[in-house]
Amino acid sequence: MTLTSISYASGPAEKALLGDPIGQFFDKISTRYAEREAIVSLHQNTRLTYLQLAGRVNALAKAFISTGFKKGDRLGVWSPNNIEWLITQYATAKAGIILVTINPAYRSHELAFVLKQSGCKGLVLQNQFKTSDYEGIICELCPEINDTDIGKLHLKKFRNLTTVISMTESSVRGIYNWSDFSDLAKNISDSELADRQFDQDMDDAINIQYTSGTTGFPKGATLSHHNILNNGYFVADIMNFTEEDRLVVPVPLYHCFGMVMANLGCLSHGACAIYPSEGFEPESVLEAVERERATALYGVPTMFIAELALSNFGQYDLSSLRTGIMAGAPCPIETMTQVNKLMNMTEVEIAYGMTETSPVSFQTRVDSPVTKRVSTVGKVHPHVEVKIINPETSEICPIEEMGELCTRGYSVMLGYWENPEATALAIDDNGWMHTGDTAVMDEDGYVNIVGRIKDMIVRGGENVYPREIEEYLMTHLSIEAVQVTGVPDSKYGEEIIAWVSLKEGDDLSEDEVREFCRGKIAHYKVPRYVRFSEDFPMTVTGKVQKYKMREISIKELGLEEQKTA
């Protein structure tokens, strides 16, 4: 077997990897592009140049140092998209604080786990967003916060958590107001901040992103300066970004799509990031493109579908658009075609990756053939190696043969936070990250993601792992057993169905199962369908056959027409 006949590729690299920690790199960019716009937050009616952004970032970094945050301490950020989120991202990097990004859809059950598992010393939060009362949830978990002075928290449930900061104003005694906390910067000199910055190494951990696991609670993918700064740089570089580009960012910042591909992608090229709204609103996205003369737009396929479906879509001037990225879920060919033609995004690209690889490993190129741009996830990224292996033998598959996709290189995470067992299962002794995804590589090096070895459900671009929902539902006193799987859905790609077995003599309705979930787990994890069953399809060895559950559910719900290959 010749080298060219096997499913292995190494990304050619015309440009070298960046060797700076994020704080040092931020200073270089904010000096070089001082007067250019760095960030526009339309829902906050705020825009900052790189020089103005640097001033706010430095003040917050100093405030963290002033209140006793040390290098390596963890700080959670729990909020929808806003400028304060971005400032927190760069301030923690300068102070060497590991930023723990918390999904704004999380509720008390998930928040408690993340705060404990990561050992957060601080938490920056939005007061409220839609139906999420963030302050209410943290006060529910820690009622003593109402009777404790700011900066002096000693919480029974979270012994490491000493500091909670509101992004605006707070009426809770133990929570800092944003302005009051930022004022603490006066206690730290420029030289003290510089000393802390220069204590950073590019390989230091700087971010923990929780990704749902197949064996219960989420795992904290731990990423370094080197991981995420370079990935953001090369994603934008492949898109031919310059300081003239203006990117509309409707994707959430807590995820790598927003934090790395958008924020760091823009920073690394002196470009401008534009936040149209706190959460995704299709009209706000198109208004932002028109108003700000945006050149680029990010989104998962369901976002683009919603934008195209607006009744007044044709009224928006999208002629400034050139490029963008569609990622997070398989893209329908028809959607890609419409984005090309109707949104003027002739250079839109597909990207594929996972949180554990910072995230992007594959990306289509502007000069990729149209058929490859709509049917594959592109070619391997610069400085990254990939291979497709037979999961039974670990041998590299021949070209065009299906197997498990593995990735190696600068982008592979440091590991799962304080979870060496899970890390060892994910990254082998030779440094290969095993993605759990089934893929095929063609003779030109383009890769198609065929399916998932794991049971992950992708609902509207959100990765949902059944085990996490199952673990939570099993806490209900009337539920004896539960199995969760996905079924096809025309809007979200997949929806969630829970097969529930009740304890003898107990009774529950479908609505009661869903109500048990609401407010305790993220809304996108709440099962749309509930099926009561005394047993589940099993193998002779007692393993649940989820593919049979899926087939039965599709037939019973009449979803055959929505089923995809």
Packing angle, helices 225-238 and 22-32, rounded to 10? 40
pLDDT tens across 311-363, in order? 999 999 999 999 999 987 667 677 888 999 999 999 999 999 999 999 999 99
- Are residues 127 and 7 part of one domain? no
pLDDT for the residue 389: 97
Q: Which helix (H) or strand (E) holds 128?
A: strand 128-129
Please name the residues in contact with 427: beta carbons below 8 A apart, sequence gap of 6 or more.
412, 413, 415, 433, 434
pLDDT for the residue 504: 86
Domain that holds residue 99: 32-37+44-218
In a domain, residue 223? The reply is no
In a domain, residue 157? The reply is yes
Is pLDDT larger for residue 217 or for residue 35?
Answer: 35
| CATH code where residue 88 lies | 3.40.50.980
Give backbone dihedrals phi and psi of 525, rounded to 5 degrees, phi first. -95, -10
% of the chain exceeding 90 in pLDDT: 79
- Are residues 8 and 50 part of one domain? no
Name the band, by pLDDT with cuts 50, 70 and 90, for residue 454. low
pLDDT at 455 over 80: no
In a domain, residue 190? The reply is yes
Question: Domain boundary residue among 454, 469, 485?
Answer: 454
Of 465, 449, 466, 420, residue with least CA distance to 211: 465
- Are residues 409 and 445 part of one domain? yes
Name the band, by pLDDT with cuts 50, 70 and 90, for residue 211. confident
- Are residues 450 and 465 part of one domain? no
pLDDT at 162 over 90: yes
Handedness of CA 151, 153, 154, 160 (dihedral sign): negative
CA separation for the pair 89, 101 (Å, rounded): 9
Work out the average pLDDT over 499-521. Answer: 94
Name the band, by pLDDT with cuts 50, 70 and 90, for residue 565. very low
In a domain, residue 225? The reply is no
| CATH code where residue 391 lies | 2.30.38.10
- Are residues 127 and 183 part of one domain? yes
Work out the average pLDDT over 403-430. Answer: 97
In a domain, residue 536? The reply is yes
Please tell me the least confidently modeled range out of 22-26, 173-177, 426-430, 549-553. Answer: 549-553
Question: Domain boundary residue among 428, 454, 480?
Answer: 454
Work out the average pLDDT over 65-89. Answer: 98
pLDDT at 229 over 70: yes
Q: Distance of alpha carbon 444 from its chain centroid, rounded?
A: 30
CA separation for the pair 280, 306 (Å, rounded): 10
- Are residues 493 and 422 part of one domain? no
Of 352, 357, 328, residue with least CA distance to 433: 357
In a domain, residue 541? The reply is yes
Q: Which two tokens stand for residue 482?
A: 């539960």
Please name the residues in contact with 540: beta carbons below 8 A apart, sequence gap of 6 or more.
none
Highest mean pLDDT among 337-341, 483-487, 511-515: 511-515
Of 13, 23, 39, 5, residue with least CA distance to 398: 5
pLDDT for the residue 540: 45
- Are residues 468 and 423 part of one domain? no
- Are residues 470 and 447 part of one domain? no
Question: Domain boundary residue among 454, 484, 510?
Answer: 454
The number of folded domains in the chain is 3
In a domain, residue 163? The reply is yes
In a domain, residue 532? The reply is yes
- Are residues 532 and 482 part of one domain? yes
Work out the average pLDDT over 511-538. Answer: 93
- Are residues 62 and 187 part of one domain? yes
- Are residues 136 and 4 part of one domain? no
* Mean pLDDT, the chain, integer: 92
Task: Tell me the whole-structure pTM to 2 decimals.
Answer: 0.85
Of 119, 48, 134, residue with least CA distance to 86: 48
| CATH code where residue 467 lies | 3.30.300.30
CA separation for the pair 302, 490 (Å, rounded): 10
CA separation for the pair 137, 313 (Å, rounded): 38
CA separation for the pair 53, 47 (Å, rounded): 9
- Are residues 186 and 69 part of one domain? yes
